Amino acid sequence: MYAYIKGKISEINPTNIVIDNNGIGYEVVVANPYEYQLNEEKIVFISQQVREDS
């Protein structure tokens, strides 16, 4: 399991952001994606939820 991802914000969408870390884009669902800015270096803490029905 991951604790956090550190990288540049490469994309901002209405429900998520994409963090570029060493050439891999991680899509992360966040509460307010518009608090981030493009090309900003950030650390985003991750909480993974695994459900049987998703």
Tell me the backbone φ, ψ of residue 23, rounded to 5 degrees: 85, 5
- Cβ neighbours, 10 Å, residue 2: 10
Give residue-wise pLDDT tens across range 1-54.
Answer: 789 999 999 999 999 999 999 999 999 999 999 999 999 999 999 998 888 886
Query: Does CATH place domain 4-45 in 2.40.50.140?
Result: yes
Tokens of 13: 């969408």
| Residue 3 confidence (pLDDT) | 94
Provide the residue ranges of all domains of the chain, joining segments of one domain with +: 4-45
